[in-house]
A and B are shown apart, each in its own frame.
Chain A
Amino acid sequence: MSRFSFSRWGAIVRKEFIQLRRDRITFAMIVVVPIMQIAVFGFAINADPRHLPTAVVRAEQSEFTRSLVAALEHSTYFDVVEELPDEEAAREALARGRVQFVLNIPADFTVRLLRGERPAILLEADATDPAATGMALGAVQPLVSAVLAKDLRGPHAALENEPPAFEIRVHRLYNPENITRYNIVPGLMGVILTMTMVMMTAMAITRERERGTMENLLATPVLPLEVMTGKIVPYVAIGLVQATIILVTSHWIFGVPFLGSPVALYFATLLFIACNLTVGITLSSLATSQLQAMQMATFYFLPNILLSGFMFPYAGMPRWARWLAQLLPLTHFNRIVRGIVLKGNTFADMVPHLWPLALFMLVVMGIATRFYRRTLD
């Protein structure tokens, strides 16, 4: 068995860079994918939707009802688009999706309020998409209290003094304004790296096999280890470029704060890239064509994106799903990135998520070497 040769390894690296430079589409993907994703998630997707169309059914006109509707509009969650005559019209507007909410103020509201009878106001919501209405509904209760505080003055001030049964105080850490992109944009880093790293390495190696050039390589003195490691070097570089693109745009364009150390982040990123490259190599050993490699990469990518806490909150998942998520490198990397970027975590804080990444890499690397075919059989 001959020894690892750096000059042969260098030849493979050189060849990969030349081929990559000629492959315009891949080259464009490297740069365009992170920018496009970041634009979509940063600008378009919003987990805290505002300006939701709202209708009002007002059975009476009074100072209280006017200031209540005004307060709704001021909250920016609600845009009052229609005044409707009755409940029937309100239901129709909801059913047809013309409005997301209907505020229903009963006829004797003001009178009963002044008598201290604690009258009710009905807010009907189209809750087919809980994510769309949840935040707005959360904002309603404090809003009503604020209106009462403002309007119940003078002779009616006594009514306000009645203490509410309980009070909910919300204190949001790290993202007090609840800005979705603070969470999403750093999370994208792991998602994009998973997608490009796994798919590109899996396809780069399968491509040699599919085009028959692998047979040619194996007939030369080059060692399989030299081929494998030589072929992935350019992708490590690509991964780092992508990570930089994401960090720069998220900080300078989306104003996401960066509290931790860039060195710590790049260290974790390198480890994460290594995890994904080992997965890519393993898939390429199993796949016989580029199409298969791509299918397998997608198969790996889906649970990662769904369970890692990028799309849906980890805390909301059942136990088995959380257990599964713990096995995925993206789960740990997302926590590392958010920790460094938003909380200013240090190396010591990262350790509980660094070792699972290292372990994952070692296990998959073991699988990859086992499956990698030295000869053609």
Chain B
Amino acid sequence: MSDPRTRELAIAVRGLNKFFDEKHVVRDLSLEVRRGEIFGFLGPNGSGKTTSIRMMCGLLTPDSGSGTCLGYDILREADAIRRRVGYMTQRFSYWEDLTIRENLDFVARLYEMPQRTRVVDEALERLGLAARQHQLTATLSGGWKQRLALAACMLHEPELLLLDEPTAGVDPNARRNFWEELHRLAARGISVLVSTHYMDEAERCHKLAYIANGRLLAQGPVDEVVRFQGLSTYSVRGEGVTTLASQLERMPGVDQTVAFGSVLHVTGRDAAALEASLRELAASRPDVQIERIETSLEDVFIHLVAHASEDAGGGS
């Protein structure tokens, strides 16, 4: 931990690359996560999020690139990283044929924690599962399993949490509780890197990174990511507007249209051309209301994905 800069950074990686056989899964990934920050990691399925997370905590060796995690080298000091990082896998990966208590106890033993019984008791208490501690884990519902997994990867009091799609398949109420818990942890100085598909979750992060086809497309705080793309967006509201989508997309300045129920979001990079096209539409269709709105994160991401596949020559 000689470099003072790395002491402020929970994760700092540069130029990470990973190939699975011929497939280039992660391309030149560089990102920084500051301590006490909730960092959202977004991208479509198969974009390389899980592979990136695995490389950051030393579970996978990158083919090229370097970096530190909590100040430790990801290539040489994976053991030290494992002791200080809590990793929650995408799929529930605790033992379903062990009871809730046995799972926590096993994890505590693996980290060789002193006062194991007390630590496990407290974790069960916090979880609210003390009464059901002798129940087999297989009998828990999805939401409870996810809470148990978080409790288990928090047991050794890690300084950094790597959460791989922790809320996939969890109901909205449980998701909200989960995020409140994440913010409480961040307030205590714990850094969190969380991958997600949900836009509402992305907006609750301090910072974001968006990855597609293994390439990092955007990085920064939410509003900055939105602003940086320089997009203008209008909402088109009215009876049957969704049928206008294909007509609009042929007009100059319109890059994309996204339907949200009976509202159409029309987005483009060339603000002047977009405005002209929409004025033309308003003249021919007086029944629709057209209004300039703020570009949402979702509009930005849809735009990013569309352009990522253009860059990759049609994309895969």
* Chain A contact residues, CB within 8 Å of chain B: 1-2, 5, 7-8, 10-11, 14-15, 18-19, 22-23, 211-213, 215-222, 375-377
Interface presence of B110 (CB below 8 A)? yes
Could you tell me if B97 and A219 are in contact, using CB atoms closer than 8 angstroms? no
Tell whether, in the assembled complex, residue B54 and residue A376 are in contact, meaning their CB atoms are under 8 Å apart.
yes
Nearest A-chain residue to B108, judged by Cβ: A11
28 A/B residue pairs, CB under 8 Å, sorted by A: A8-B109, A8-B110, A15-B102, A18-B97, A18-B98, A19-B97, A19-B98, A22-B136, A212-B89, A212-B93, A213-B93, A213-B94, A215-B59, A215-B89, A216-B87, A217-B110, A218-B59, A219-B57, A219-B82, A219-B85, A220-B82, A221-B82, A221-B110, A221-B112, A375-B58, A375-B59, A376-B59, A377-B60
B54 closest partner in A (C-beta): A376
**B43 smallest CB distance to A (angstroms):** 20
A8 / chain B contacts, CB cutoff of 8 Å: 109-110, 112
Q: Please give, as numbers and ranges, the residues of chain A lying within 8 Å of B112 by CB-CB distance.
A: 5, 7-8, 221
The answer to whether B59 and A2 have CB atoms under 8 Å apart is: no
**Residue B91 lies at the interface, judged by CB distance under 8 Å to chain A:** yes
Q: Is the CB of A10 within 8 A of B59?
A: no
Contacts of A18 in B (CB 8 A): 97-98, 102
Q: Which residues of A contact B98 (CB under 8 A)?
A: 15, 18-19
Can you list, as one digit per residue, whether each of B100-113 has a CB less than 8 Å from chain A (1) or not (0)?
00100011011110
Q: How many A-B residue pairs have CB under 8 A?
A: 71
Bound complex: CA A201 to CA B180 (Å) = 43
Given contacts A217-B110, A375-B59, A376-B54, 20 further A-B contacts (CB under 8 A): A5-B112, A7-B109, A8-B110, A14-B106, A15-B98, A15-B102, A18-B102, A212-B91, A213-B93, A215-B59, A216-B89, A216-B93, A216-B94, A219-B59, A219-B87, A219-B89, A221-B79, A221-B83, A375-B61, A377-B60
Shortest CB distance B95–A (Å): 6
Given contacts A18-B102, A212-B93, A376-B54, contact A220 B111 (CB under 8 A): yes
Whether the Cβ atoms of A222 and B110 lie closer than 8 Å is yes
Measured between beta carbons, the chain A residues less than 8 angstroms from B60 are: 375-377
Contact between chains at B79 and A19 (CB < 8 Å): no
Query: Which residues of A are found within 8 Å of B85, using beta-carbon distances?
Result: 219
Closest 5 CB pairs of A and B: A11-B109, A216-B93, A219-B87, A212-B93, A220-B110
- Shortest beta-carbon distance, A16 to chain B, in Å? 10
**Residues of chain A contacted by B97 (CB below 8 angstroms):** 18-19, 22-23
For residue A148, give the distance in angstroms from its CB to the closest CB of chain B: 73
Q: How far is the CB of A143 from chain B (nearest CB, A)?
A: 63
Nearest-CB distance from A226 to chain B (Å)? Answer: 9
A11 & B106 in contact (Cβ 8 Å cutoff): yes
A211 to B92: give the CA distance in the assembly, Å.
9
B109-A2 in contact (CB<8A)? no
- The reply to whether A15 and B59 form a contact with Cβ atoms under 8 Å apart is no
When C-beta atoms are compared, the residue in chain B nearest to A216 turns out to be: B93
Give the secondary structure class of B's interface: loop
A14: B residues at CB distance < 8 A:
106, 109
With both chains docked as a complex, state the minimum distance between the C-beta of B161 and any C-beta of chain A, in angstroms.
12
A314 to chain B, nearest CB (A): 43
Interfacial chain B residues near A215, Cβ < 8 Å: 59, 89, 93
Q: Which B residues touch A22, using CB under 8 A?
A: 97, 136
B110 lies within 8 A of A11 (CB): yes
Interface string of B70-86 (1 = CB under 8 A from A): 00000000010011010
Taken together as a complex, chains A and B put the C-alpha atoms of A18 and B137 apart, in Å, by: 13
Structural contact, B111 and A221, CB atoms closer than 8 A: yes
Bound complex: CA A11 to CA B105 (Å):
9
Closest beta carbon of chain B to A228's beta carbon, Å:
15
B82→A211 contact, CB < 8 A = no
Closest residue on chain B to residue A22 by CB atoms: B97
> Which residue of A has the minimal Cβ distance to B86?
A219
Beta-carbon nearest neighbor of A214 in chain B: B93
Bound form: Cα–Cα A219–B110 in Å: 11
A18 vs B98: C-alpha distance in the bound complex, in angstroms?
Answer: 7
Q: A218-B59, A375-B58 are in contact. Are A10 and B109 (CB under 8 A)?
A: yes
Cα A16 to Cα B119 with chains together (Å): 22
Q: If the complex has contacts A8-B112, A11-B106, A220-B111, are A213 and B95 also in contact, measured as CB distance less than 8 A?
A: yes
Complex: chain A residue closest to B85, CB-CB: A219
Closest CB in chain A relative to B82 CB, distance in Å: 5
In the complex the two chains form, is B79's CB within 8 Å of A2's CB? yes
- Pick the most buried of A15, A23, A216, A375: most chain B CB atoms within 10 A of its CB: A216
Assembled-state Cα–Cα distance A215/B107 (Å): 13
In the assembled complex, which residues on chain B have CB atoms less than 8 Å from the CB atom of A217?
110
A23 to B109, CA, bound (A): 22
**CB distance A1 to B54 under 8 Å?**
no
Q: Assuming the A-B contacts A216-B89, A375-B61, are A15 and B95 also in contact, with contact meaning beta carbons closer than 8 angstroms in the complex?
A: yes
Q: Report the Cα distance A14→B89, complex, angstroms.
A: 23
Which residue of chain A has the shortest Cβ distance to B57 in the bound complex? A219
A215 to B53, CA, bound (A): 12
Contact between chains at B95 and A19 (CB < 8 Å): yes
Residue of A nearest to B76 (CB): A1
Residues of chain A within 8 A of B94, CB atoms compared: 213, 216
> Do A377 and B87 touch across chains, with their CB atoms under 8 A apart?
no
Is the Cβ of A377 less than 8 Å from the Cβ of B89?
no
Shortest Cβ distance from residue A24 to the other chain B in the assembled complex, whole angstroms: 11
A376 neighbours in B (Cβ, 8 Å): 54, 59-60
List, in ascending order, chain A residues with CB within 8 A of B110's CB.
Answer: 8, 11, 217, 220-222
Bound form: Cα–Cα A10–B112 in Å: 11
**Chain B residue with Cβ nearest A5:** B112
Which residues of B have CB within 8 Å of A2? 79
